[in-house]
Copies of this chain bind each other. A is one copy, B any other.
């Protein structure tokens, strides 16, 4: 159970409703996830987070699916259950197949292993990696 009271649409302030409306319009859905209902307990955080997410996750040089895969890679590394569940769903909606999912997780797993190995041996950064673009 969440540690804050979730704010349902019916009981939300006009400020919170405006964010909920924008979420549903942007995502073409008639539901608001539990994440946003929890954030609504602190409206400035709800609004700021939604505005940031909307800007950051929209397609740009990277397409929406790639962004969702990156998001999921971070969530798995942080072992955040809610984030893994919700962004696995979001990535599937954006086109992630089972084959892509399998390869994604293989990369994430290997990266976490090799990160440990590099740290364990305190490997020095190769000189040629230090050159700025």
Q: Which residues of A contact B (CB under 8 A)?
A: 1-5, 33-35, 38-39, 41-42, 44-45, 48-49, 52-53, 55-57, 60-62, 66-67, 69-71, 73-86, 88-89, 92, 97-126, 128-130, 132-133
Partner pick for A81 among B88, B92, B114, B125, CB 8 A cutoff: B125
B82, A34: Cβ atoms under 8 Å?
A: no
B55, A44: Cβ atoms under 8 Å?
A: yes
B34, A125: Cβ atoms under 8 Å?
A: yes
Copies per complex of this chain: 6
Set of chain B residues within 8 Å of A88, measured between Cβ atoms: 3, 129
Set of chain B residues within 8 Å of A116, measured between Cβ atoms: 76-77, 79, 105, 108-109, 112
A62 → B minimal CB distance (Å): 5
Partner pick for A1 among B44, B57, B120, B130, CB 8 A cutoff: B130
Partner pick for A123 among B2, B70, B114, CB 8 A cutoff: B2
B77, A79: Cβ atoms under 8 Å?
A: no
**9 nearest A-B residue pairs (beta carbon):** A42-B102, A113-B113, A74-B111, A38-B121, A85-B129, A61-B99, A82-B118, A80-B115, A77-B77
Beta-carbon nearest neighbor of A105 in chain B: B120
Set of chain B residues within 8 Å of A85, measured between Cβ atoms: 3, 122, 125-126, 129-130
A133, B56: Cβ atoms under 8 Å?
A: no
